[in-house]
Structure 1
Amino acid sequence: MKINRWTRRATLLLAALTVLLSGCTTYVTTQVTAFSDWSGSDATRTYAFTRAGDQQNNLELSTYERIVANELAAHAFRQVDTAQARYLVGLSYGIRSDMVTVAEPVYYNPWPTPYWGRPFDPWGPWGPFPTAYVNQSYPIFTHLLGVRITERATGKEVYNVTARNSGGESSLVRAMPYLARSALADFPIGNGVVRTVKIPLDKNGGASNEVAATGAAPAAAPAPASGAKAVQ
């Protein structure tokens, strides 16, 4: 899917503001897009991970599979040998870096000593003044996770979800728990759903168990999974 240049600039600018306000941020925001033809039941949610030929000994992929497996287990999926699995789960992932330039004001105060002016007017009538603007560049990183579920016997694709977020985090492995939890929140969601998922951080800086999702679904939304909160 191609994104026109104005949409991309707007996305990068929003990500830049996220970096600037990172000190106040208490959650990670992820955009999720899903396509679904899901009809499975809890009793048949057995699966195995599938890989391309050149990924058989990929330690990075093994790490991400464990993260996704934890999220699948929360939705009654059980990992088994490939021969016994009803579904095959394939992962795609990546990270891209960009630089965003933001014009920031430089302030000048011609009266460095305290000004005893009107109440609630600590600067008085003279300042500080934005006398110039300086361009500051910030690195922005876009993280991506795709989860594709197919029926092993027929090869039919039954669920395909993509999660994407941006910010100042340069490590994909640190972003992966948020991507995986966002991608599979309230599984299964309707076909063609695009929504935003926010995962709060706990007091130690880790991911909270609470998930808040916003966005319109073309079909009736399923009940949220345990520990998740959906806001339509």
Structure 2
Amino acid sequence: MNIDRWTRRITLLFAALTVLLSGCTTYVTTQVTAFSAWNGSDATRTYAFTRPKDQQNNLELSAYERIVANELAVHSFREVAHDDARYLVELAYGIRSDIVTVAEPVYYNPWPGPYWGRPFDPWGPWGPFPATYVNQSYPVFTHLLGIRITERASGKEVYNVTARNFGGESSLVRTMPYLARSALTDFPLGNGAVHTVKIPLDSHGAAANEVSLPAVASGTAPGTASGTASGTASGAKVGQ
């Protein structure tokens, strides 16, 4: 078995554990990878979104562009008309589902009745009998956002960042604010940078300062759209 297959299995196992522990999770954890040739200044951070012709009327993509636009504004980017922009910003996104099977212990107590506990029963509530294991399957979802920034005049790519997280959330719409904020945390990252961003949840399970989404229809099936991503984003924690 090759290393990539082992890596995928380990990743899915950790994702499954995340699903199992989701009731007490207080952060959304996202892995971010960036490639950069950035040398821009705040005075020149004008941009416009770009997308291929077959995505011009994509409402889902429009919603995600608004989320990314809010995060870009944190880093002094200003959206302008296409022909006035120094940079073009293109998005790619998707969601993939997997099923992860985890062996969970099941205990059998042959002695019904009240359990008095130690020191009266040295074996504990299940007696001296070992646990048996039952396989339980759980859905795990991988959410992805890519942000690509190019210079409009030259077409040169100057920044390309990918944000990816895993969990039991089946909606890409609900995870997009976390992906966008994570992708642009500490912009601009160095070339080849890989780090982990943790965004806290509020008491209602939403990201702190989470942006509002337009009312658009979005399923959980995989979707992608081509179109063209200083300081730390609010509420985000970064780990190398």
Q: TM-score, normalised by structure 1?
A: 0.87
Residue correspondence of structure 1 range 28-177 to structure 2 within 5 A: 28-118=28-118, 124-125=122-123, 127-128=125-126, 129-177=129-177
Distance 2:91 2:72 in 1: 13
**Contact preservation (8 Å) 1:116, 1:124:** no
Q: Deviations over 1:1-37 (max 9, x none)?
A: xx81000001100000000111111100100000011
Distance 1:32 1:92 in 2: 14
User: Greater strand percent: which structure?
Assistant: 1
Aligned residue number for residue 196 of structure 2? 196
Instruction: Indicate the RMSD between aligned Cα atoms, in angstroms.
Output: 2.1
Structure 2: which amino acid aligns with 1:133?
Answer: Y
Instruction: Could you tell me which runs of 5 or more consecutive residues in structure 1 were left unpaired when the two chains were aligned.
Output: 211-221
With 93-102 and 199-208 compared, the bigger mean Cα shift is at 199-208
Q: Deviations over 1:154-208 (max 9, x none)?
A: 0000000000001100001111000000000011111100111110101121102
Structure 1: which amino acid aligns with 2:203?
Answer: K
Distance 1:14 1:118 in 2: 35
Q: Deviations over 1:60-94 (max 9, x none)?
A: 10010000000001110000000100000000000
**Contact preservation (8 Å) 2:115, 2:125:** no
**Contact preservation (8 Å) 2:104, 2:133:** yes
Distance 2:160 2:125 in 1: 56
Q: Shift in Å at residue 49 of structure 1?
A: 0.2
Structure 1: which amino acid aligns with 2:195?
Answer: R
**Contact preservation (8 Å) 1:111, 1:126:** no
The question of 1:224 aligning with 2:232 is answered yes
Instruction: Could you tell me which runs of 5 or more consecutive residues in structure 2 were left unpaired when the two chains were aligned.
Output: 211-229
Structure 1: which amino acid aligns with 2:232?
Answer: P
Distance 2:90 2:40 in 1: 17
Note closer, same or farther for the CA distance 1:226–1:98 as it changes in structure 2 (3 Å cut): closer
Distance 1:133 1:60 in 2: 43
Structure 1: which amino acid aligns with 2:135?
Answer: N
Structure 2: which amino acid aligns with 1:224?
Answer: T
Structure 1: which amino acid aligns with 2:187?
Answer: F
Distance 1:20 1:72 in 2: 34
Aligned residue number for residue 187 of structure 2? 187
Aligned residue number for residue 208 of structure 1? 208
Structure 1: which amino acid aligns with 2:78?
Answer: R
Structure 1: which amino acid aligns with 2:147?
Answer: V
Distance 1:24 1:231 in 2: 20
Q: TM-score, normalised by structure 2?
A: 0.85
Q: Shift in Å at residue 224 of structure 1?
A: 3.3
With 89-98 and 200-209 compared, the bigger mean Cα shift is at 200-209
Structure 2: which amino acid aligns with 1:74?
Answer: V
Percent of residue pairs identical: 79
**Contact preservation (8 Å) 2:89, 2:147:** yes
Distance 1:151 1:167 in 2: 35
Note closer, same or farther for the CA distance 1:138–1:39 as it changes in structure 2 (3 Å cut): same
